[in-house]
A and B are shown apart, each in its own frame.
Chain A
Amino acid sequence: MAANFRLPVAESSEKREQIAFTFNGQQVMGYEGEPIAVALWACGIKTIRSCGATAQPRGVYCGIGHCYECRAQVDGVANVRTCMTPLSRGTSVSSSSDWHIEGA
């Protein structure tokens, strides 16, 4: 992922090592403990899933765990709110389907 939307200030003050995780099979980088949605956004990924009813792209909307718009399948658990879930090394995130629950 070439895109990087992190603030330069945050970049220089962050001495933490970036960790790798996957989004829909693609490897992306983020900081451990930050919300998954934030890590994705920092990599330029705003579309986390698509709407089951209209097929429009969906991503972070409220960002506080209220609206469930940023839900995704995280490590096999469906419909996890990515704005509320801390990132850890090797986390596997994929766009979840509204009507199909895997591994739950």
Chain B
Amino acid sequence: MEDVIICRCEGVRYSEILASILEGASAVPGVKKRNRAGMGYCQGRVCQRVINELIERETGQPAPLQRAQAPVRPVLLGDM
């Protein structure tokens, strides 16, 4: 399989997600802390479900989604 980009914001590839799961990540925040997937501008809106399914496929365990944290969209410091 081609090594596609899973997290388009941070440029994290399929192989990097798999590597972080092999390293022990059992939920989306674990992957996020290892390779920044889901930490870009869209805040995991695009990649979170994919990462979740990859974790469930690799570990065979249900993986919780990350909690939404404020601010839910990137905002300018001047607007806060």
Residues of chain A touching chain B, judged by Cβ–Cβ distance below 8 Å, are 51-54, 58, 61-62, 66-69, 71, 77, 79, 104
Closest to A53 in B: B11
State the majority secondary structure of interface residues on B: loop
How many chain B residues sit at the interface, stated as a range, is 10 to 19
Chain A-chain B contacts (Cβ-Cβ < 8 Å), number: 33
Asked whether A67 lies within 8 Å of B45 as measured between CB atoms, the reply is yes
Residue B8 CB within 8 A of the other chain: yes
Instruction: Write the residues of chain B forming the contact surface with A, with a CB cutoff of 8 angstroms.
Output: 5, 8-12, 40-42, 45-46, 74, 76-78
Whether A68 touches B11, Cβ cut-off 8 Å, given contacts A79-B74, A104-B78, is no
B74 contacts across to A, CB distance below 8 A: 68, 79
Distance between Cα atoms of A66 and B41 in the complex (Å): 10
